[in-house]
């Protein structure tokens, strides 16, 4: 589901590091060369390039990118070149300083659209970078009110079972539990929080399927019909990121480019963070939901080298 077009044959990390060095030397930076190299390498390959570059030239590749590039292009290139867990730790840390639902999305994405092992890695790096735990910072944040604060803290603390084994009878029972709570507009009920914050993703998908069979509505549609509160909206986002992440990220991309002006930070985050995970599915969802393509909208709302790195990460797409 990754959209990254890795070349074959693949140059060695040393060759890539040397080509990057050439791109930085002389009068001006060869941005196209940097995009061609870094934009077409996996996280493991980028890590090897960073390590080799530091060994050869006694400087950080990320520091050099910061020096050579500028604006939204620089931000996208640095975020892409970083270790994914470190990137998410820094994105969450920045989000915790901001108000509004867009900032809460970042916490939910990292908590719910990641693998359990990736979330553990994010939490570990967060502690080493910021000298506090992610769970602690959310639980003590003045940006969130209860029950949202408790919900987010439980999401980031979770370690979900990763196998695809599903207990069908439990799924039916918990679909009924969720339905009863939603009818009562009691989304912060302990059973609801327990189900959403602890069940593995395969189990949740089965529960949400039984929910639709039971009620005739998808769970997110039913929540929306009963409440328009911020907590309800964030519960829906968590459900999407857990069971249908392509739906969430398609909407995030669309949100970032709709209306007057472009929200470059949000657009960059969505594309950079999902390019190696499920960008192909996001592109399909985007086309189905909005009757256009990610490629077409990126071309229409961005320009220059920033546009080129985003298009490289989005990958090939039918017009």
Enumerate the known binding-site residues.
24, 26, 28, 68, 257, 261, 301-302
Q: Which two tokens stand for residue 89?
A: 């730790």
The annotation places the binding site for Ca(2+) at: 24, 26, 28, 68, 257, 261, 301-302
Q: Quick check: helix, strand or coil at residue 140?
A: coil
Of the CA atoms within 13 Å of residue 122, those in its CB half-sphere come to 28
Give the 3-state secondary structure of residue 41: coil
3-class secondary structure, 30: coil
Helical (H) or strand (E) element with 81: helix 71-81
Helices (H), 113-244: 116-130, 134-139, 148-157, 168-183, 190-198, 201-215, 219-226, 230-243
Name the residue among 254, 259, 264, 316 with its Cα closest to residue 287: 254
Instruction: Quote the DSSP letter at residue 11.
Output: P
Rounded CA-CA distance 40/34 in Å is 10
């Amino acid at each position: 589901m990754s959209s990254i077009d890795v070349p074959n044959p693949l140059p060695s990390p040393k060759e890539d590091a040397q080509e990057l060095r050439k791109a930085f030397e002389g009068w001006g930076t060869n941005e196209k060369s940097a995009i061609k190299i870094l934009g077409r390498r996996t996280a493991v390959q980028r890590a090897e390039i960073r390590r080799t570059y530091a060994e050869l030239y006694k400087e950080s590749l990320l520091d050099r990118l910061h020096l050579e590039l500028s604006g939204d292009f620089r931000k996208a290139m640095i975020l892409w070149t970083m270790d994914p867990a470190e990137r998410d730790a820094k994105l969450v840390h920045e989000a915790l300083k901001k108000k509004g639902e867009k900032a809460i999305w970042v916490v939910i994405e990292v908590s719910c659209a990641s693998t359990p092992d990736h979330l553990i890695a994010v939490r570990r790096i967060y502690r080493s970078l910021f000298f506090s735990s992610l769970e602690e910072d959310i639980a003590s944040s003045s940006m969130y009110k209860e029950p949202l604060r408790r919900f987010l803290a439980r999401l980031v603390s979770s370690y979900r079972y990763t196998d695809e084994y599903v207990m069908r009878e439990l799924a039916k029972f918990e679909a009924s539990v969720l339905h009863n709570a939603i009818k009562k507009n009691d989304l912060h009920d302990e059973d609801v929080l327990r189900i959403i914050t602890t069940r593995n993703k395969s189990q949740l998908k089965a529960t949400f399927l039984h929910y639709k069979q039971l009620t005739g509505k998808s769970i997110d549609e039913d929540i929306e019909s009963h409440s328009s509160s911020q907590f309800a909206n964030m519960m829906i986002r968590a459900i999407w990121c857990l069971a249908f992440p392509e739906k969430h990220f398609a909407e995030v991309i669309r949100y970032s480019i709709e209306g007057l002006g472009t929200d470059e930070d949000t657009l960059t985050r969505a594309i950079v963070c999902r390019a190696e995970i499920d960008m192909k599915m996001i592109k399909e969802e985007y086309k189905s939901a909005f009757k256009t393509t990610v490629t077409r909208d990126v071309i229409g709302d961005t320009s220059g080298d920033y546009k080129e790195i985003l298009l490289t990460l989005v990958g090939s797409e039918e017009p």
